């Protein structure tokens, strides 16, 4: 329903380079990227605040690239929410309906309905200035949803909130989505928002959107090394491939398919098995490793290992870590399936 | 952009165009001659310039000497009274020179000081003192007590602390204050006329006389152009020195 | 301690003449309102009062409209023309006054009410611009953008969102503009013509001759009171805004 085609724009230090993606009605599209990637610029172009240098934006087949923002039916919630501090909560939410010249009773009915859904009905008579950060966010969302836009654009909606509040609002956002069924594009730099809200995920870096796909797919199969690094993957190795064998430093790794020449591969840390004893299996890559150090990640332990000249990181559960009684400078055996290896 | 056009058009017609006319008259409009500039540099006028310069210089110096300790006291020492004192410094900005000078005139006449050089100086200091205190206060306010105390604890004597720490740090305020006093004082008209009477002629009173009494637009314009050059030079000097122009 | 005494002395120096003026306006062989009665019954004073008020109100109104529109439009995009608004503030009054005088003379524009008003607007526009601009630049652009994406057009955005947010700046600017015009003397003196008197001109006509009269004391005290009320309003507004 919303389609972005080859969208390019430069503005100040930011730029968008030939962005392409499409979302369907009711979809929640999360765009993940580091700060400075151009995420806000992309939203502003979709909202109509900027006219792109080239490319098109289509909404239900209609070209809206140069349509003024007030005629687009796309609601935009900027990072600081852009609330009207001089108005009451009610008037903020009613704003879009008032400028559309809705009848007074209709406005009241709709505002109260949405306020009830978002649990802010008790705030309607308050001045926006005196609200907490979480309340401000709800008002901003209510104000955007009440005009029933085709798409809602959310720019880092959780970035100003503390962790507890953020987790609570993330859960509520899921609920609101189910109940109100809106289409959204949500940009963020935080993975947990992408994982818990997104139907679809786009990764944006340096003005480019290099990968768009299902959330799980993007996380498990990053398309480029840069995306893998951004997603926090370690174990990126470089070597020389001869058919199904990769020579890196002085170890041999079995690859899922045949490659020739220089290749870069990534081995997801969660796919590396650790054991105290040698595992005999022809289909696996098996190595002896030294535990250099370990790091507590909460439920998981991250082991930093050395295999000959190569450094690898592996994740294992705290329980098995305790079971195996792993200590620093000890030897362990690592193994991973060739199919777990991701080749860029 | 479009919305600014009425205001810009207004200023162009009623501010910038009049200035262009002054410059034109200074150069002898409708002829073109430099003679009016030569005229204002003849020895009789030199005496008037000197008067203005002396009055402005003494005023600036006195204002600086009086304002510095007061600004320092408000900025650093007073806590409870700070806001009240600040309001009392800002209040005179809201009262016209004419009224304030008139108030002073009433007192000076009691002391039989009216129409003397002393009266003019007292009046000038009286009117311009707030213009010196405020920028000094602004720069001294940033200079925290801790800096001064640090200087003491490092073994500096009070005088040393003053010269080596306070003066350099408050320099932007001093420059701003001195320019804010000196430049308008040079062209001041109300004070010398009301308190100095006919005996003291300055750049300001001369401008008045040339335009209002003698209707000598050309010579008056040349004088105004000369004064404007001083003003612009002072502003450029300030921008260069402090780096920006803040109003 | 010395600092404290000096500070007190300076404040005394600044305020004793003003207090003395107010006291003497009530004094004529003992406490009296006679001086005030005299000026209220003086046709010259009442005419000048309404002239002053007229010029101050109109020049404030016009300059607030022009200056606010300009401040809003430049806030949206930085522009070199913006610097045109600063010279009227830094240029000494007397040079601006003679320029206006020559301008009107050259056009053979009759000196009086209109010439005075025109001159007052010229410097007030600049002051309004600077004050409102400061306020306008503090409005985050996301607020206007939010208004557009919610469906409001430029005019609705300006009247419903921008203008209310600019209001404190506009009120402050109006107070400053009104005060500057209300007690302006030099520009008025240069650009007025026969028959058009304002209160400052009236005071000047006496004071320039060195005359200190009880009725002028009363008039000056009244003007003082108005200045103080205006500055009080200004302080109240700026404190409430913080």
Closest residue of C to A71, CA-based? C151
Please give the residue that has the higher pLDDT: either A288 or C242: A288
Closest residue of B to C178, CA-based? B94
Has the ipTM of the complex gone over 0.90?
A: yes
pLDDT of residue B247: 41
- Model confidence band, residue A250 (pLDDT cutoffs 50, 70, 90): confident
Q: Which of B29, B62, B102, B130 to mutate to test the interface with C (most CBs of C within 10 A)?
A: B102
Closest residue of A to C153, CA-based? A70
Residues of C in contact with B234 (CB under 8 A): none
B164 HSE (CA, 13 A, CB side)? 13
- Model confidence band, residue A283 (pLDDT cutoffs 50, 70, 90): low
- Spatial distance between the Cα atoms of A104 and A123, rounded to a whole number of angstroms: 19
The reply to whether B86 touches chain C by the CB within 8 Å rule is no
pLDDT in tens, A67-101: 999 888 899 999 989 999 889 999 999 999 999 99
Token code pair at residue C177: 């503009």
| Residues in CB range of A258: below 8 A, 6 or more apart | A241, A243, A244
- Spatial distance between the Cα atoms of B182 and B170, rounded to a whole number of angstroms: 18
Q: What part of B 17-46 touches C (C-beta under 8 Å)?
A: 17-19, 21-22, 25
Domain spans, chain C: 2-241
φ, ψ of residue A28 in degrees (nearest 5): -115, 110
pLDDT in tens, C164-210: 999 999 999 999 999 999 989 999 999 999 889 999 999 998 888 77
Percentage of chain C modeled with pLDDT above 70: 98
In chain A, list all ranges with CATH 3.40.50.300.
Answer: 2-227
Helix-helix angle B17-26:C93-107, to 10 degrees: 90
Token code pair at residue B136: 């000094």
CA distances from C153 to A90, A235, B116, C85, C160 (A): 20, 53, 65, 29, 10
Give B43 to chain C, closest Cα distance, Å. 23
- Number of neighbours of residue A276 by Cβ within 10 angstroms: 12
pLDDT in tens, B66-96: 999 999 899 887 778 888 898 899 999 999 9
Q: What stretches of chain C adopt beta strand conformation (E)? A: none
Q: Cβ of A84 and C151 within 8 Å?
A: no
φ, ψ of residue B33 in degrees (nearest 5): -150, 155
pLDDT of residue B55: 96
pLDDT in tens, C88-142: 988 889 999 999 999 999 999 999 999 999 999 999 999 999 999 988 888 888 8
Judged against a pLDDT cut of 70, whether residue C242 lies above it is answered with: no
Structural contact between residues A97 and A107, judged by C-beta atoms closer than 8 angstroms: yes
CA distances from A101 to A68, A94, A145, C156 (A): 19, 10, 17, 12
φ, ψ of residue A38 in degrees (nearest 5): 100, 15
DSSP alpha helices (H): ranges in chain B? 5-11, 17-26, 35-40, 43-72, 82-90, 97-110, 117-142, 145-153, 158-161, 167-169, 171-186, 190-196, 203-208, 217-242
CATH code at C2-241: 1.10.3720.10
Q: Which helix (H) or strand (E) holds C210?
A: none
Q: What share of chain C is helix, strand, coil (3-state, %, to 5)?
A: 80, 0, 20
Structural contact between residues A341 and A264, judged by C-beta atoms closer than 8 angstroms: no
Q: Which of C16, C17, C109, C172 to mutate to test the interface with B (most CBs of B within 10 A)?
A: C17
Domain A2-227: give its CATH architecture: 3-Layer(aba) Sandwich (3.40)
Q: What share of chain B is helix, strand, coil (3-state, %, to 5)?
A: 80, 0, 20
The reply to whether C153 touches chain B by the CB within 8 Å rule is no
Residues of A in contact with C153 (CB under 8 A): 68, 70, 99
Q: Which of B19, B130, B247 shows the shortest C-beta gap to C130? A: B247
Residues of C in contact with B166 (CB under 8 A): none
Q: Cβ of A85 and C165 within 8 Å?
A: yes
φ, ψ of residue A67 in degrees (nearest 5): -70, 140
pLDDT of residue C76: 66
Token code pair at residue A122: 């008790």
Q: Cβ of C17 and B99 within 8 Å?
A: no
Token code pair at residue C50: 């309404």
Domain spans, chain B: 43-216
Superfamily of the domain at B43-216: MetI-like (1.10.3720.10)
Residues of C in contact with A95 (CB under 8 A): 147, 150, 152, 160
Q: Cβ of A95 and C142 within 8 Å?
A: no
CA distances from C13 to A265, B29, B78, B130 (A): 83, 47, 19, 12
What secondary structure does DSSP assign to A137-190, as a single string? HHHHHHHHHTT--SEEEEESTTTTS-HHHHHHHHHHHHHHHHHH---EEEEES-
Q: Which of B91, B193, B247 shows the shortest C-beta gap to C208? A: B193
The reply to whether A213 touches chain C by the CB within 8 Å rule is no
What's the mean pLDDT when you consider all of chain B? 88
Token code pair at residue C126: 């600049």
- Number of neighbours of residue C120 by Cβ within 10 angstroms: 26
Cis amide leading into A296 (omega within 30) = no
Mean pLDDT of A183-207: 91
Domain A236-343: give its CATH architecture: Beta Barrel (2.40)
């Amino acid at each position: 329903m919303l389609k972005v085609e080859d969208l390019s724009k430069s503005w100040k230090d930011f730029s968008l380079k030939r962005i392409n993606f499409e979302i369907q009605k009711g979809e929640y599209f999360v765009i993940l990227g580091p700060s400075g990637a151009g995420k806000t610029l992309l939203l502003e172009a979709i909202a109509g605040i900027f006219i792109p240098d080239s490319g098109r934006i289509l909404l239900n087949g209609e070209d809206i690239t140069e349509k003024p923002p007030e005629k687009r039916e796309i609601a935009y919630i900027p990072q600081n929410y852009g609330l009207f501090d001089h108005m009451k909560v009610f008037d903020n939410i009613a704003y879009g309906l008032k400028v559309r010249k809705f009848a007074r009773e209709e406005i009241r009915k709709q505002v109260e309905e949405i306020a009830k859904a978002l649990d802010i009905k008790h705030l309607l008579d308050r001045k926006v200035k005196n609200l907490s950060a979480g309340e401000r966010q709800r008002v901003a969302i209510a104000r955007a949803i009440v005009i029933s836009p085709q798409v809602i654009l959310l720019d880092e909606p959780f970035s100003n909130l503390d962790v507890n509040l953020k987790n609570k609002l993330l859960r509520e956002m899921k609920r609101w989505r189910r109940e109100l069924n809106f289409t959204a594009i949500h940009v963020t730099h935080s993975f947990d928002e992408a994982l818990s809200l997104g139907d679809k995920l786009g990764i944006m870096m340096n003005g480019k959107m290099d990968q768009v796909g299902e959330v799980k797919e993007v996380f498990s199969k990053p398309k480029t090394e840069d995306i893998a690094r951004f997603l926090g993957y370690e174990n990126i190795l470089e070597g020389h491939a001869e058919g199904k064998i990769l020579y890196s430093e002085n170890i041999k790794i079995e690859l899922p398919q045949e490659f020739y020449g220089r290749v870069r591969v990534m081995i997801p840390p969660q796919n590396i098995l650790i054991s105290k004893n040698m595992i005999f299996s022809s289909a696996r890559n098996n190595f002896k490793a030294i535990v250099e150090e370990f790091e507590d990640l909460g439920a998981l332990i991250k082991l930093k290992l050395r295999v000959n000249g190569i450094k690898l990181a592996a994740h294992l559960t705290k329980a098995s870590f305790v079971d195996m009684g792993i200590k620093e400078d000890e030897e362990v055996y690592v193994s991973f399936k060739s199919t777990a290896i991701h080749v860029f | 952009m479009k919305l600014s056009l009425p205001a810009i058009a207004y200023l162009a017609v009623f501010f910038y165009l009049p200035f262009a006319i002054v410059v034109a008259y200074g150069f002898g409009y409708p002829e073109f001659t430099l003679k009016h500039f030569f005229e204002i540099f003849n020895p009789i006028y030199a005496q008037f310039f000197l008067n203005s310069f002396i009055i402005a210089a003494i005023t600036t110096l006195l204002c600086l000497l009086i304002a510095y300790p007061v600004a320092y006291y408000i900025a650093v020492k007073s806590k409870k009274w700070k806001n009240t004192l600040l309001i009392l410094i800002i209040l005179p900005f809201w009262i016209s020179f004419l009224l304030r000078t008139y108030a002073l005139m009433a007192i000076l006449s009691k002391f039989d000081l009216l129409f003397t050089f002393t009266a003019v100086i007292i009046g000038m200091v009286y009117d311009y003192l707030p213009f010196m205190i405020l920028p000094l206060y602004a720069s001294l306010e940033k200079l925290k007590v801790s800096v001064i105390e640090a200087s003491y604890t490092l073994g500096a004597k009070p005088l040393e602390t003053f010269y080596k720490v306070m003066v350099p740090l408050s320099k932007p305020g001093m420059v701003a204050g001195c320019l804010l006093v000196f430049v308008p004082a040079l062209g001041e008209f109300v004070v010398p006329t009301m308190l100095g009477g006919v005996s003291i002629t300055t750049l300001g009173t001369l401008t008045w006389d040339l335009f209002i009494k003698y209707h000598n637009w050309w010579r008056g314009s040349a004088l105004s152009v000369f004064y404007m050059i001083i003003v612009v030079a002072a502003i450029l000097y300030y921008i260069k020195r402090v780096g920006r122009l803040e109003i | 301690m010395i600092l404290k005494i000096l500070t007190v002395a300076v404040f005394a120096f600044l305020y004793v003449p003003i207090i003395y003026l107010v006291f003497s306006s009530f004094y004529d062989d003992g406490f009296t309102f006679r001086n005030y009665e005299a000026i209220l019954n003086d046709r010259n004073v009442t005419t000048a009062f309404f002239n002053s008020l007229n010029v101050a109100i109109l020049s404030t109104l016009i300059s607030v409209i022009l200056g606010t529109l300009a401040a809003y439009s430049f806030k949206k995009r930085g522009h070199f023309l913006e610097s045109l608004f600063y010279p009227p503030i830094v240029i000494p009054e007397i040079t601006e006054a003679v320029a206006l005088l020559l301008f009107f003379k050259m056009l053979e524009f009759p000196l009086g009410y209109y010439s005075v008003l025109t001159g007052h607007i010229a410097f007030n526009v600049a002051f309004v611009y600077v004050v409102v601009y400061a306020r306008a630049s503090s409005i985050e652009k996301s607020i206007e953008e939010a208004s557009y994406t919610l469906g409001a057009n430029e005019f609705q955005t300006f009247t419903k969102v921008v203008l209310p947010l600019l209001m404190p700046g506009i009120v402050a600017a109006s107070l400053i503009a009104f005060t500057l015009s209300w007690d302006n003397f030099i520009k008025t003196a240069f650009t007025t013509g026969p028959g058009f008197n304002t209160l400052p001109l009236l005071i000047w006509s006496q004071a320039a001759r060195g005359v200190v009269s009880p009725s002028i004391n009363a008039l000056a005290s009244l003007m003082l009171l108005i200045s103080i009320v205006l500055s009080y309003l200004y302080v109240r507004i700026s404190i409430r805004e913080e």
